[in-house]
Chains A and B, each alone.
Chain A
């Protein structure tokens, strides 16, 4: 369960979030809004990448601003640009990197990485140079590097921005099969079929909070 209590954030004089109060127990939740609406900032408060300047966030009762490490073990995060998330030269090494403090032996880490890659459509790519994967594969790799840690929550910040239609669909289908609670930030309305709850943000405030149908009608009205 993710809770936002009066969350606000500002950069200097510029207010990017204000008065966000939400309780989010649903399994499939989306933050929708136009560019600059504050949706990415809000998502980054969930694992403490951004500490809100007002209010607080709780993930299963833990505040990421205080217990960052414990929260980050519970919350995986996938960014828009897979290039900057991949930190090791080959796909297998990158997944194994996530496990470096798991207490597993090197061999167990390698084997587990190969398994996770295979489970998510990257079987046979463990030794492949990560920077030579397609954008779709890179984003799958970024996802694998998070899922190998078995987080309870997965936050995805516009994960399909750089993907073509087919890869986008594959990625979203994959998300739907996961056990994790998924929080997805997007302005791509095609992705939201099957979501339990859509929260629409505009100018840093929640302006709609509903099932996908009504919430997206509101979003379309805002876009004019």
Chain B
């Protein structure tokens, strides 16, 4: 995930059921791990690119993904190239690009609410073993929301450190980040209680 969210749309990918898309995403991730040929992996990437076109993902969103992927690929390719040689590095990088961009496409075209419901439905048969599907679904939703919350805390903490000329101090970044994260979790817990999450039906 590159920190983006759902963008409303009416394309077939937007309308496809979330559970099916999630399964397809997992299957795709597993498949690219088993593929070695750069040609085949390149083909997978091309198919995903078609998916972006059919879902009419905004150019701004695509650009942001491209920047993230370029940085990631440059880093991984350098290290893997030195360790394993350019051919193996290319394979690994193509896998990364395929998995990442497919995950992002899933995020762009799928409401979290729909993912949560799909997970809840999938968990329903496990109810007899004591699994509470609504809790599992809520956990998925909150995990996604936590990414946004934590990254904004991290950005603020970093700015505060820079303002005090402590931009390179690990302590000035880690300590306030942890404290604010714990505080956030406290507040979130209260907010959930207020909305009846703790109360059994």
Interfacial residues, chain A to chain B (CB-CB below 8 A) = 47, 49, 68-69, 72-73, 76-77, 79, 81, 83-90, 93, 96-98, 100-101, 106, 127, 129, 131, 145-146
CA distance A85 to B113 in the complex (A): 17
B78, chain A: closest CB distance, angstroms? 33
**CB-based contact B148/A89 at 8 Å:** yes
From A69, which residue of chain B is reached at the shortest CB distance?
A: B199
* B contacts, CB < 8 Å to A: 5-6, 8, 111-113, 117, 134, 141-142, 144-145, 148-149, 152, 184, 187-188, 190-196, 198-201
**A96-B113, A97-B195, A100-B134 given; A79·B190 CB < 8 A:** yes
Smallest distance from the beta carbon of A40 to chain B beta carbons, Å?
11
Contacts of B134 in A (CB 8 A): 100
Q: In the complex, which residue of chain A has the Cβ closest to the Cβ of B120?
A: A100
For the A-B complex, the count of residue pairs with Cβ-Cβ distances under 8 Å equals 77
Q: Is the CB of A72 within 8 A of B199?
A: yes
Q: How far is the CB of A45 from chain B (nearest CB, A)?
A: 13
Residues in B whose Cβ lies below 8 Å from that of A131 = 148-149, 152
A49 to B148, CA, bound (A): 26
Contact A47:B194 (CB < 8 A) given known A100-B134, A101-B201, A131-B149 = yes
CB atoms of A49 and B184 under 8 A apart: no
How many whole Å from B84's CB to the nearest CB in chain A? 38
Q: A residues within 8 A CB of B113?
A: 88, 90, 93, 96
